[in-house]
Chains A and B, each alone.
Chain A
Amino acid sequence: MTNTERKTSGFGINQIIPIVAAVMSIAFIWLGLNKYGFWHSAKGPMPGFFPVVISVAMLFASILAFVFSFKEEAPVFPVANWLVPLSVACIIGATFLIGLIPSVAVYVLVWLKAYEKCTWKTTLITFAAIMAVVIGCFVLWLGVPFPKGLIYNALFS
C-alpha cells in the first residue's frame, strides 16, 4: 500500500463510479430502445442497436464492479492535484472575457511566480518559450483563430 492509498472504510469513490455507470447505462438502454430503436424487421439494426448492446454489457460490468468494490482500497486524491484542473477552469472562464492567449499567458506567469515561487529569470524564460511556441506555431504559422474575448470584441469590433 502506497502513502497515497488507504483501506476503504465505507462508501466512497469505488462505489460511486459503478453506481454512476449503472445509472448511465440504464438511461442509454431506455433511450436506445424507446427513442432510437433497436431492430427493424426489414431494415435490420437501428441507431439504438449498438449502444444498447454496449450499455447492457456495461450494466453487468458496473454491478460486478460495485460488488467487488468493497474489497478494494480507496484512492486518495491530494488536494494540491486539483489546482491544475482548477486553473484550467479559470482559463476557460477568463477566455470569454480576455481571450485564450492572454488567459494562458497570465496563467503561466501566475503559476510560476506566485505558486511555484520561481525566480523572475526562470519565470520569464519559461514564459517566453511557451509563448513562442503558442504564438509562433499556432497563431502565426498555422493561423488558428483563437478567441479574443468580450473586451477585445467590444473595443475593436
Chain B
Amino acid sequence: MENIELLLQGFAVLFTFQNILATILGAVLGLIIGAMPGIGSLAGVALLLPLTYKFNPTTAIIMLGSLYYANMYGGAFSAILLNIPGDSPAVMTSLDGYPMATVKKRPGQALLTSNLSSFIGGLIGMIILTFTGPALANVGLKFGPAEMTALLLVAMTSIGWLVGENPTRGVLLTMFVIMLASMGMDTLSGSPRYDFGSIYLLGGIPFTPFVIGIVGFAQVIKLMEDRNIQTKAAAEKLTIRGSMITRHDFRRLLPPALRSGFLGTFVGVLPGAGATTAAFLGYATQKSFKSEEPLGTGAIEGIAACEAANNGAAAGAFAPLLALGIPGSGTGAVLLGGLMMWGLNPGPLLFVNEPDFAWGLIASLFLANLITLAIAWGVIPFLIKILSVPTKLLIPCITVVCIVGSYSTSNSMYGVLVMFLSGILGYVMQKSRYATPPVLLAFVLAPLLESNMRKAFIISRGSLNIFFAKPISLVLMIALFAILLFPVVRPALVKAGLIKIKEPKS
C-alpha cells in the first residue's frame, strides 16, 4: 500500500504542464528514433542528453525515460513494414511481423499486435517495478557469471529450432557468425584478437550495420525479383478501423504477451542482459507453448512474445538503475551518467532522499506507455502507406536508409562497408537456403556467453562444478539438459504413455 501512495505522489509530481509535455515529447521522439534504422535507444538518449541540460532533473529524466521506453515501440515499425529492425530489440519482431504484413496482407494488425503487446509487457514491467523494484534489483545481483552462463545457454538452445529445414547449414552459418562476433578486442584481457592488423577489425564487427545488412540490405537485393509487381493490398485498409485486430487475435496475443512481460522484466533486471536478450528469450520461450500458426510465418504469438519481452525489459532495467545505481544496458549507463550530471546519486537512498524524482520517473513511465500506445495506434494508417509504395520505388529508398543508418551508428564508412558485405552474405546464404534467423541470436548472445563462461571458469579455476554448486545455476542447468535431452527421450515417454502427441491442425 505504501508503494501505491508513493506512486500517487509520483503522479502528483508528474502532472505539471512541463512534465507532461516532456513525456509527450520523449514518446514522440522515441517512436521516431526507434523506427529509424541504425540510431537505437542508446544513440537517441545520448544525442538528446545535452538538450536536457536546462531542464530540472525530474523533467529531464522523465523525457529521457519516456524516450527510451517509446523507442521499444518504434523499433518494431520498420521491422514489420520493411524487414529492417529499427533497433536491436526489434530483430525478432521482423521474423513474424514482416510475413504477417506482407504475406498475410495484415500490416495494420501486425503493427497493432506489436503496439498492444508492447503496452502489456511494459505495464507488467512497471507494476513489478513499482512494487518490487529494490527487491528485484537484489535478485538480479545474485546472477553471477555461472548463473548468466547457464541462462544464456538456455537461450542459445533456441538456435535448434531456428535453423530451419537444413540443420547442418543452419549450424554452419551460426558458428560462422559466432566466429565473426569473436573478432576484435578480447572482452576480458583487452588484447587484440583476429583483427588481422586492421584498426577497424580491432573494434569488432558492429552489430547494427551487420543486422541492417543481413536482414535489410539482403532483402532489398531479393526485392529486385519482385520490382515489377504492383502492391495494392495494403492500400485498401488505410483506416484505424481497418487495422483493428479481432477478438480471436487478441486472445492469441494475450497469453504470450503476459508471459513475456514477466520474463522480459526479469531479464531487464539482470546486468548486461537488456531488451535484446529479453526479446530473444521471449521468442524462444514461445516456441515451448502452443501457437496457432508456426512461428516465423507471420504468427501473432511470435510478435507478441518478443515485443512484450523487450518492453518489459525496458521497464525492468530501471530497477537496478534506480535502486542500486547499476545500469542493465548501454542506454542505462547513459541515463546513469545523466543522473550523476544532475547531482543525483542512484542507490537505495535515492528512493528515500529524492522520492519526487524516483517516483515521478516511475509514474512518467506509466503515462509514457499510454501516450505511446495512443500515438503509435494513431499513426498506423500513415505507416501502412509505406507498403502501398511500388517495390521499384522502395528499392532505392530502403537502400539509402540502409546506407545512412549504418553510417550513423559509428559515424564511419566502416559501418557502411559492414552493412554492404553482410548484405551480400545474407543474400547469398538465403538463396542457398541457409537459415539466417539464428545468426542474429548468435551474434547478440555469443559475446555475452563467452565473457560469462570465461569468468566462471576463472573463478572456479577451470572446474565445471561452478555451474552446479549454486541453486540458480543448478536449476538453469537442469532446464538446459531437459531441453537438450527431451527430443531424445520423447519417443520413450510417448511409448510409456507419459506424454501424448497432439495432431497439428491442418
Q: What residues make up the interface of A, taking CB atoms closer than 8 Å to B?
A: 4, 13-14, 17-18, 21, 24-25, 28, 31, 36, 39, 42-45, 47-51, 54-55, 57-58, 61-62, 64-65, 68, 72, 75-78, 80-85, 87-89, 91-92, 95, 100, 104, 107-108, 111-112, 116, 118, 122, 126, 129-130, 133-134, 137-138, 142-147
B164 CB → nearest A CB, Å: 13
- The answer to whether A28 touches B179 (Cβ under 8 A) is yes
Assess whether A138 is in contact with B182, with CB atoms less than 8 Å apart.
no
Given contacts A65-B169, A84-B224, contact A44 B462 (CB under 8 A): yes
Q: With a CB–CB cut-off of 8 A, which chain B residues contact A82?
A: 221
Interface: B47 (CB within 8 A): yes
Known contacts A51-B194, A84-B224; is-contact A62 B408 (Cβ 8 Å) = no
> Does B121 sit within 8 A of A, measured CB to CB?
no
Find out whether the CB atom of A28 lies under 8 angstroms from the CB atom of B194.
yes
Docked CA distance A85–B222 (Å)? 11
> Shortest beta-carbon distance, A153 to chain B, in Å?
15
Given the known interface contacts A47-B191, A50-B453, A122-B393, the answer about A87 and B221 at a Cβ–Cβ threshold of 8 Å is no
- 5 further A-B contacts with Cβ under 8 Å, apart from A89-B420, A144-B404, are A51-B179, A57-B175, A61-B172, A84-B224, A92-B413
Name the B residues within 8 Å of A51 (CB-CB).
Answer: 179, 182, 193-194
Contact with A along B397-440 (1 / 0, CB 8 A): 10111011001100101001100100110011101111000000
Q: Which of B351-373 contact A (CB under 8 A)?
A: none
Beyond A83-B224, A138-B408, whether A62 also contacts B172 by CB under 8 A is: yes
Contact present for B224 and A64 (CB under 8 Å): no
Q: Does B479 reach chain A (CB closer than 8 Å)?
A: no
Contact A78 B224 (CB under 8 A): yes
- Chain A facing B: main interface SS: helix
B202 within 8 A of A: no
Task: Tell me the bound Cα distance from A144 to B36 in angstroms.
Answer: 13
Number of residues on chain B facing chain A (CB within 8 A):
61
- Bound state CA distance, A61 and B435, in angstroms? 14
Say whether B423 contacts A111, CB under 8 Å.
no
Nearest A residue to B191 by beta-carbon distance? A47
Interface presence of B127 (CB below 8 A): no
20 A-B interface contacts by CB (under 8 A): A14-B432, A17-B428, A25-B175, A49-B454, A61-B168, A61-B171, A61-B175, A62-B172, A65-B168, A78-B225, A84-B221, A84-B224, A84-B395, A92-B420, A95-B413, A100-B404, A104-B400, A107-B399, A112-B396, A130-B396
A132 to B372, CA, bound (A): 24
Docked-complex contact A88 and B403, CB < 8 angstroms? yes
**Contacting pair B168 A64 (CB below 8 A):** yes
Which B residues between 439 and 490 are near A, CB-CB below 8 angstroms?
446, 450, 453-454, 457-458, 460-462
Residues of A within 8 A of B172 (CB): 17-18, 21, 58, 61-62, 64-65
**Which of A18, A72, A81 sits near B427, CB closer than 8 Å?**
A81
B189 and chain A: residue at smallest CB distance:
A47
User: Contacts of A87 on B, CB cut-off 8 Å?
Assistant: 399
B175 and A88 contact, CB distance less than 8 A: no
Q: Which residue of B lies closest to A79 (CB)?
A: B224
Q: Enumerate chain B interface residues (CB-CB to A < 8 A).
A: 32, 36, 39, 47, 168-169, 171-172, 175-176, 178-179, 182, 186, 188-189, 191, 193-194, 217, 220-222, 224-225, 227, 392-393, 395-397, 399-401, 403-404, 407-408, 411, 413, 416-417, 420, 423-424, 427-429, 431-434, 446, 450, 453-454, 457-458, 460-462
The 10 closest A-B pairs by CB, nearest first: A58-B175, A61-B172, A47-B186, A75-B431, A50-B450, A44-B457, A51-B182, A81-B224, A44-B458, A111-B396
> Bound complex: CA of A143 vs CA of B432, how far in Å?
40
Interface centre among B225, B395, B411, B434 (most CB of A within 10 A): B395
Q: Determine the chain B residues whose CB is within 8 A of the CB of A18 once the complex forms.
A: 172
In the complex with contacts A62-B172, A88-B399, A100-B407, A81-B432 CB distance below 8 A: no
Which among B168, B189, B460 has the greatest number of chain A C-beta atoms within 10 A?
B168
Knowing A64-B168, A142-B39, the reply to whether A126 touches B175 (Cβ < 8 A) is no
| Cβ contacts under 8 Å, B194 to chain A | 28, 31, 36, 51
In the complex the two chains form, what is the Cα distance from A45 to B464 in whole Å?
A: 12
Question: Contact: B433 with A75, CB < 8 Å?
Answer: yes
B179 adjacent to A55 (CB under 8 Å):
yes
A44 and B420 within 8 A (CB): no
**Residue ID in chain B nearest A75 by CB atoms:** B431
A85:B424 contact, CB within 8 angstroms: yes
* A139 CB → nearest B CB, Å: 9
A3→B249 CA distance, assembly (Å)? 36
Say yes or no: A137 contacts B179, CB within 8 Å: no
Q: How far is the CB of B331 from chain A (nearest CB, A)?
A: 16
B179 and A25 within 8 A (CB): yes
B400 touches A45 (CB 8 A): no
